[in-house]
Amino acid sequence: MSATLPDQLGDKVVYHLRAGDQEIPLNSRIGMPLSLEWSGAIACTHCGRATKKSFAQGHCYPCFKRLAQCDTCIMKPETCHFFLGTCREPEWGETHCFQPHIVYLANSSGLKVGITRKTQMPTRWLDQGAIQALPILEVNTRQQSGFVEMLFKEQVSDRTNWRAMLKGEVEPLDLNAERNRLLDVLSDGLDKLRDLHGQDAIRTLDEAPHAFDYPVETFPRKVVSHNFDKQPRVEGVLQGIKGQYLILDTGVINLRKFTGYEISLT
């Protein structure tokens, strides 16, 4: 499911469901009955082979074990082992990991810290269902972003409470004030990282916070999650979309979790 910013300020985030080469608009279906049915087939999103189980959001097991994008260092960038000569795909690593990354603050279920490739803004925030986001630092590599994130995790979480995010009970925060507070508290740690990686390797940003509004008519009081593996047919009235979740009157479903599944939509 793709999420993009609206054309006009103040409008809702725009969602489309990817179906092969087509993209089906979803915002216009809010308030209408929706049915999703899994055929039982799963195809690896990388090599296309059939698989009985999806690994790392859409991969067969051989690709999961072989691809650099499925390695543990993607989730924990500070454990990057490229310089040890053990990267699964050095060329892929050079393309994806050795480029500018952003360390940001976001508000999806409360204050959190996160990292993303510079080219992935604002997609990363929309996928998390953040109502606010603020880039605070830019670094040269993914590994460096991991080191910075570890420092910030001493003061703030890197997790989203997805249930709280979907209930729509998140209060706006003063992200500028939070940025200033954290940069002050963590200044010694940031200086040590700059001493290690270079003074220009970690750059402080001065940007305005971003705010996002999602197409939700009704937030659930109690979050009940659908799962295609247990229930191949999911249906109900579409009440909203936030992050990678469809919000139905019968429950919510995280479509990102079922990447590679063959689904029919009616």
- Rounded to an integer, the average pLDDT of 131-158 is 97
pLDDT at 194 over 90: yes
pLDDT over 90, % of the chain: 95
Nearest by Cα to 232 from 261, 201, 256, 193: 261
Look at residue 21 in the predicted model and tell me its pLDDT: 77
Look at residue 150 in the predicted model and tell me its pLDDT: 97
Residue 139 confidence class, pLDDT cut points 50, 70, 90 = very high
**pTM for this prediction:** 0.93
Beta strand residue intervals within the chain, DSSP E: 2-4, 14-19, 22-25, 33-42, 101-107, 111-117, 132-139, 202-204, 210-211, 233-242, 245-248, 251-254, 261-265
DSSP H helical ranges for the chain: 61-66, 72-75, 90-96, 123-127, 142-152, 162-167, 175-185, 187-197
pLDDT at 237 over 90: yes
Question: Tell me: the pLDDT tens digits for 59-118?
Answer: 999 999 999 999 999 999 999 999 999 999 999 999 999 999 999 999 999 999 999 999
Return the minimum-mean-pLDDT range out of 16-30, 41-55, 106-120, 190-204. 16-30
φ and ψ at 204, to 5 degrees?
Answer: -80, 135
- Rounded to an integer, the average pLDDT of 182-191 is 98
Look at residue 53 in the predicted model and tell me its pLDDT: 95
Q: What is the mean pLDDT of the chain?
A: 96
